Amino acid sequence: MKRFQRILAAVDLSEADRFVADDLNAHARQIVDDAIWLARTGGATIRFAYVVDSPLLQHIVDEEQEGRLPEGCEVVSENAHERLQMLVDEAKAQGVKADKVLRFGKTWVQLVREVLQNPVDVTIAGTRRLGPLRAAFMGSTSLKLLRKCPSPVWITKPRGGTGLRSILVAHDLTDVGTSALGIGAELAQMHDARLTVVHVLEHHSGNVVLPPPCTEADIAAARAAAEQRIATELAYYPTRRPVDVEIIVGHAAEGILESIAKGNVDLAVMGTVARTGIRGIVMGNTAEMVLPQVPCSVLAIKPSDFICPLAT
């Protein structure tokens, strides 16, 4: 995918009480597979990143900034570099250019700092808190990245293999929604995947699209306008299969989640909207409710005017 030429793959090499396990866990394996697949199909490069995050080693950050590791941490560093190098070699064996980086400290902070220092087009990460539709599967690290990382963030869920069969784009008819649509359409074209575009016409007090009182004619007009805009934007992105466009009247978060469940979706693509006056917080009300609950992988797109809170 030409849009994603520089990929940061954040892998967790730990297992139980071991900082570096002998084998990758299922979540790390999916991240590696997705990153290599995405890089191979688009001619991109990968940087594999591992952050050693432990309360027992929090002081390591200050020590590392001075160019040295605390006594006793050399083995952790050596093992981690060795395991990361194996991932680099795996990527290179498949024709993908790759390198590695090892950091110590709070995972989300170190990953955001890595992106700030070495900008990428997408950050791929995972989570171990997977659950059913109504249970939050995203851990705190995933949510922090979604809120604060300056690049698009792909939170992947183990699904056994690469490729995508079904993609859903949640389009709120804003500029960031348009960006999400473009990315979703390109991914669908690459994978011959089914693409569904969902827009929700919210009908409740305070809503600017369908403020009460609202007639059937109002709803029909709003539906037609949304369909026309989405059709116009889709014309720029040819896909192998017909695109399903769903215009739902109701609550945005509920409508999106129901569409994801109904479509057996592998990847949900949606934009995040900055809250006015709160710098660095990009999860709007809908995204805040939807993203922690989705049972599939998520690709979250930042608005163009997003400012990372760690940038200064």
Domains of the chain: 6-156 (3.40.50.620), 166-301 (3.40.50.620)
* Interval 36-57 mean pLDDT: 86
Q: Where are the beta strands (DSSP E) in 157-203?
A: 166-170, 194-201
What pLDDT is stored for residue 249 in this prediction? 87
Name the percent of the chain lying above pLDDT 70: 79
| 190 pLDDT higher than 70 | yes
Three-state secondary-structure class, residue 10? strand
Residue 4 phi, psi dihedral angles, 5° rounding: -110, 90
- Its pTM stands at 0.84
Tell me the mean pLDDT in the region 18-39.
Answer: 88
Length of the chain in terms of residues written: 312
262-277: b (≥16 Cβ within 10 Å) or e? ebebbbbbbbbbbeee
Nearest to 272, CA basis, from 136, 145, 133 = 145
Mean pLDDT, the chain, integer: 81
Q: Parallel, antiparallel, or unpaired for β 97-104 and 267-271?
A: unpaired
Task: Give the 3-state secondary structure of residue 85.
Answer: helix
Q: Which of 228, 222, 191 is nearest to 207 (CA)?
A: 222
Instruction: Give the tens place of pLDDT for each residue, 83-121.
Output: 999 999 999 999 999 999 999 888 999 999 999 999 999
Q: Got the DSSP string for 29-55? A: HHHHHHHHHHHHHHT-EEEEEEEE--G
Nearest to 299 by CA among 164, 201, 152: 152
Report residue 209's pLDDT band, with 50, 70 and 90 as the boundaries: low
Each residue's pLDDT tens digit, 291-310: 778 888 889 898 888 888 88
